[in-house]
Structure 1
């Protein structure tokens, strides 16, 4: 079996986004818009943090999957491809995190 990738997930979400499938959570999230998707992303982030703090390994794995999925939905609704995020991460490599953070625009 081939390894599942973020690119695979991005493609699946893009394909399901406007499918009109009444059983597709992705289609429902896209229909509800960015506010609902961002709310779900925030909820999943909190649940991921709680699982990590509790030391709940399986919970952390499960909640991380939910978090990543909802993050991809928010990126899709915002017309931000994963490649843009990866380019940003790449531009930060080789710099210290402290220096990178200091170089960000204030505000």
Structure 2
């Protein structure tokens, strides 16, 4: 599984370094960070809708789109899958780290 993501990363990185006419990936890099972030947000929303609708096939498709766009973002920002894996590994050792939510006293 990890090899697929690494291969995707290498392809996206290649598109950034050697622009190819007609490439959607190159288009995203040309438009810049704002466009990349917009697409990540759109794809995230589409994942939520597909999952909420209980459509596994559509959810898989949208998750794939989201991972692709997140990979473009990672390449754009110089973040590798190893960076992400390192952070996830560091979190494996943490226990009892539920975030404390701010309590609001509605009576005041």
- Is the structural similarity TM-score above 0.5? yes
The higher radius of gyration belongs to 2
Structure 2 counterpart of 1:5: 4
Q: Which runs of 5+ in 2 are unaligned?
A: 101-108
4+ runs of 1 displaced by more than 4 Å? none
Q: Distance in 2 between matches of 1:51 and 1:71?
A: 18
Q: CA deviation at 1:16?
A: 1.3
Match of 2:97 among 88, 96, 99: 99
Structure 1 counterpart of 2:48: 49
Q: TM-score, normalised by structure 2?
A: 0.84
Q: Distance in 2 between matches of 1:19 and 1:28?
A: 12
Q: CA deviation at 1:5?
A: 1.5
Q: How does 1:7-86 map to 2 (within 5 A)?
A: 7-86=6-85
Q: CA deviation at 1:79?
A: 1.0
Q: Distance in 1 between matches of 2:46 and 2:21?
A: 27
Structure 1 counterpart of 2:103: none
Cα root mean square deviation, aligned: 1.7
